[in-house]
A = this chain, B = another copy of it.
Amino acid sequence: MSRTLPHHRACVQRLPIIRAMGEFELIDRFFRRDGARTADGVVLGIGDDCALLAPTPGQQLAVSSDMLVEGRHFLSTVHPAHLAHKALAVNLSDLAACGARPLGFTLALALPRADEAFLAPFAQGLFALADAHGIALVGGDTTAGPLNVCITVFGEVPPRQALRRDGAQAGDRVWVSGNLGDARLALEVFRGTLSLPGETFAAVRRAMELPTPRVALGQALRGVASSAIDLSDGLLGDLGHVLKASRVGATLDEATLPCSDAAAALDTSWRRTCLLHGGDDYELLFTAPPGRDAEVQAAAAAAGVRVTAIGRIDAVPGLRVRDARGQPIATASRGFDHFAGEPAPQAA
């Protein structure tokens, strides 16, 4: 586990320092698991300057990195186990969108203090998801600082089989896994703009805090899907990235969008907000030629995930959504932006 720039400590009087547990003890107690559960392909894990991985010869390496900041990507009240799950899940979701098999990950963690009440459940949540995917934490960094979780994941994929954003073709069907909108629905309840019965809220909160990365589905779609992306910024925004990269357009049928009963019960305006712009879904959005419908369904069945056809790719640029009567819905393609925040209202 690498270290950095030790001696600027004089400049951080504002940070609470816990003398009882140091960085090395913290790593040993919560993040080192020598011998046990080391994943395939990990030659050397935590404890040297670098981790050493041995990818399968001939495979390409898929890499993704996501940084989660308190107050921006998670609520300060989130359970540490859920935070850890989500930080790893959003990275695994990127591997899934490439069709890559996960190998391992690094964790860089800035914490206001070395606090067992935080670290023990954080490590538990992290390793529960890592173990479910048979991958190891191979290294990283810990430091004092405002709470920040940065995970980098590594996976492997055969040459020229990675799912990419730029392969969608006119005539392809547009597919999505799972349900859309529940994470946004949960956020609106936290915001106080919507309310839900307790059990229903618990279910959508789970969608928001404990997303399931579609890793098996991504791998099963290699050679079947023509393009793929994971849904983090909302259906229309993320589909927009595919359309731009592939230089095509698309038409979606609103009535086909898969959602929970809770989202289906919303009024039209809120339902569209959650399903079309919601974000944080971590489902796979992908395209495939209609002639491969059976292969798509077989891949989904093998992965144990429901998939739904929601529209088609057009040669004509632009993104169109039709309602149940086939009428166009006016919708700006409002992807979220971490710096721009909410889209500015359009001029009348």
Contacts and interface: CB of A to CB of B under 8 A. Distances in A.
A233 B162 contact: no
Contacts of A341: 9, 17, 19
Interface stretch (A57-65, A309-317, A324-332): A57-65
A26 B73 contact: no
B18 A139 contact: no
A100 interface: yes
A230 interface: yes
Interface string A52-84: 111101101111111111111111000000000
Given A8-B74, A62-B52, A75-B11, A69 B145 contact: yes
A305 B159 CA distance: 39
Interface string A79-101: 00000001000110011011010
B52 A98 contact: yes
Contact of A72 (B9, B55, B337): B9
B19 A344 contact: yes
Which range contains the number of A residues in contact with the other chain?
A: 35 or more
A23 B61 CA distance: 26
A20 B145 CA distance: 28
A9 B64 CA distance: 23
A106 B14 CA distance: 30
Interface string A107-150: 11110011000000000000000000000001111111110101
User: Which of A44, A109, A114 has most chain B Cβ within 10 Å?
Assistant: A44
Interface in A35-61: 43-44, 47-55, 57-58, 60-61
Contact of A94 (B50, B110, B157): B50
Contacts of A336: 3, 6-7, 9
6 contacts: A6-B232, A6-B279, A19-B341, A19-B344, A108-B150, A152-B152
